[in-house]
A and B are shown apart, each in its own frame.
Chain A
Amino acid sequence: MSSAPILELRDLSVRLGGSRRWFGKSVAPTVAVKGVSLSIHPGEVLALVGESGSGKTTLGRTILGLQPETSGDIVLDGRAVGGLSPREARKVRTAIQYVHQDAAAALDPWWSIGATLREGLLIHGVASAQVRAAKVDAMLVSVGLEPDAGRRYPHEFSGGQLRRIGLARILLLQPRLLILDEPTSGLDMSVQATVLNLLLDLRREFGLTYLFISHDLSVVQRLSDRVAIMLRGQIVECAPTAEIFQRPSHPYTMSLLASAPRLDRRPSAQQPQPQGVSGATAN
């Protein structure tokens, strides 16, 4: 891709926890993200794959600005936006938004969908109530829901519909880069397909760029343009999707690919058990 990257990470590190104590041994911090350099180009889908504890979510939170980085640079549209407190970081990074993994938990059960969605607009400075209401109705239609969904409450919707609502809420804020944290985990296969289709449609309609955090390789293979494999806080391999799946070069990538359940394979027949995977995640 020739265009300038929308987001660039240079040697980003994040340390979590750790404390010095007056008496006794001090607790060493965990290095959750270790020297990560990545660039995301406008319009592409970059998948971030790794097991739990590998630092995917921490990296997502750092890009978003909720977690201050320990060292390294974050460059958004050619402008350095790193080294800020969470509050300031969110102000300069409004182009980046985050879609929660558990859509149901991210909605207030006592608030109607419309009220929840309108609040986001109010916080971001849309003053007129009529404009807010009109925008919310239009966005609900864009994500494939009825406009009267705004009058209903979270418990009245299915898992797939709640994902759509979660997307609508974020898209109202006109982001350009969306961080999708496991957008289809816990969904049925038939619903998952419709949500993924919606993501592709919305990308075209709103000109979005996705950072797609997932551990479902079959989805990653279909949806993403490039894949970054994360292990113990480091990106061990980053390449176009076809290359990763056909010619994985890092042993960890190979074992990941060998582990994914496949429809057309019996376990004993072909693949040997992946080597060196146990205990892959450092504590």
Chain B
Amino acid sequence: MIPVLSVRGLKVSFHTDQGRATVLDDVSLTLERGRVLGVVGESGCGKSTLIRTILGILPDAARVEAGAVVFEGENLLVFSEQELNQRVRGSRIGFIPQDPLLSLNPVFKVGSQLLEIMRDHAPPGTKRRDHIKRLIELLRRLQVPDPDTALERYPHQFSGGQRQRLLIAAALACSPGLVIADEPTTALDVTTQHEILLLLRELVDEFDISLLFVTHDLGVVAEVCDTVCVIYAGQTVEAGLVGAVLQTPTHPYTQALLACHPERSTHFVGIPGNVPSTLRMPPGCRFAPRCGYVEPVCSMALPESLQATSGASVRCIRAA
């Protein structure tokens, strides 16, 4: 089966005053059709840069140095801005942003903001009337109260959870094959978060979408994702089925991250040290300076990704 999205050996660097900062270095991931892939990592590990590269919205200072982003058989990195706008973003890839409050313009009605997306990205030939109908249907499915009049209201008239539903509607409006969600529930309460997660999980099957779910919460990964990809300092360190990675983590970083979770420890443990600076990456394994199992060979060369006994692909010499 051809995956919906396949990122291969992606390397992205930023130009800074102090030199080139390599933010992503050899990131690979695969998302099968109808599945949910969780991308997990701490702040500064390159999650947002990864999303921006896939969507083609990197800032000017960034440069893709190597790799490919293959979406439905096409490499998105060779597309022009215009091609991306007309053929990919909004129509075939939907995006759910992190903060529903910041992503809606407070002075425009919800309807005008959602219809703008459909006007720009819906198949040519469809009428505004059809767009309104489609949106109301979506809002009804997403359990937004009073869907028939919701488009005539302003963002402040909705609660946080309802706003997130509006943005999910925006992402799904043009029936995309892939939806990218950037920490869609971090700004929400526990109970609202739970509802939104359940909803997303249902929508994946119902609308036949594949979901790329970026988060730093391993609990959320356990709830919604089928596969997971753990990123550390711009590199994929462990990728595999959620059950395998969360129950029998192989990479020391994944193990340390899980040990930090209050559910898995009787006392609070952190990971000593800091994430290395993108300007001065350690030679060899990037986790070596903080790793409890470090050996001299770790700092000599970057380990290759190996197949671990859990079935996950792990970038560590101990996986063999």
Contacts and interface: CB of A to CB of B under 8 A. Distances in A.
Given A189-B42, A274-B191, A158 B274 contact: yes
B33 interface: no
Contacts of A196: 268
Interface of A: 51-52, 158-159, 188-194, 196-197, 200, 215-219, 221-222, 255-256, 258-268, 273-274, 277-278, 280-281
B222 A188 contact: no
Nearest to B247: A264
Nearest to A274: B191
A193 B269 contact: yes
Contact of B191 (A189, A194, A259): A259
Contact of A277 (B191, B197, B256, B274): B191
Interface of B: 42-43, 159-160, 189-195, 197-198, 201, 216-220, 222-224, 246, 256-258, 260-264, 267-271, 274
B43 A159 contact: yes
A259 to B, nearest CB: 4
Contact of A260 (B190, B258, B267): B190
Nearest to A190: B271
Contacts of B269: 193
Nearest to B161: A278
Question: Interface of chain B, helix or strand or loop or mixed?
Answer: helix
A218 B263 contact: yes
A197 B223 CA distance: 27
B179 to A, nearest CB: 18
B198 A273 contact: yes
Contacts of B224: 267
A244 to B, nearest CB: 14
A256 B191 contact: yes
Contacts of B267: 197, 222
A188 B42 contact: yes
B218 A193 contact: no
**Centre residue among B160, B191, B218 by max chain A CB count within 10 A:** B191
Given A190-B257, A261-B217, 8 more contacts: A51-B190, A51-B191, A193-B268, A197-B267, A221-B262, A255-B191, A262-B263, A263-B218
Contact of B222 (A215, A255, A256, A265): A265
A193 B270 contact: yes
B182 to A, nearest CB: 15
13 contacts: A51-B189, A51-B191, A158-B274, A189-B42, A190-B260, A191-B270, A218-B263, A256-B190, A259-B193, A263-B219, A267-B197, A273-B194, A277-B195
A51 B192 contact: yes
Given A222-B262, A267-B223, A190 B194 contact: no
Given A51-B190, A261-B220, A264-B222, A189 B197 contact: no
Contacts of A268: 201
A259 B223 CA distance: 11
B151 to A, nearest CB: 21
A220 to B, nearest CB: 9
A218 B193 CA distance: 15
B192 to A, nearest CB: 7
Nearest to A159: B43
A263 B218 CA distance: 7
B3 to A, nearest CB: 23
Nearest to B256: A190
B198 A190 contact: no
Given A51-B192, A221-B262, A256-B190, A267 B198 contact: yes
B250 to A, nearest CB: 16
**Centre residue among A190, A265, A280 by max chain B CB count within 10 A:** A190
A275 B45 CA distance: 38
A265 B223 contact: yes
Contact of B268 (A217, A222, A264, A281): A222
B255 to A, nearest CB: 12
B189 A215 contact: yes
A52 B268 contact: no
B216 A261 contact: no
Contacts of B42: 188-191
Among all A-B residue pairs, the 9 with the closest Cβ atoms = A261-B219, A259-B194, A194-B270, A51-B189, A193-B270, A190-B271, A218-B262, A188-B42, A193-B268
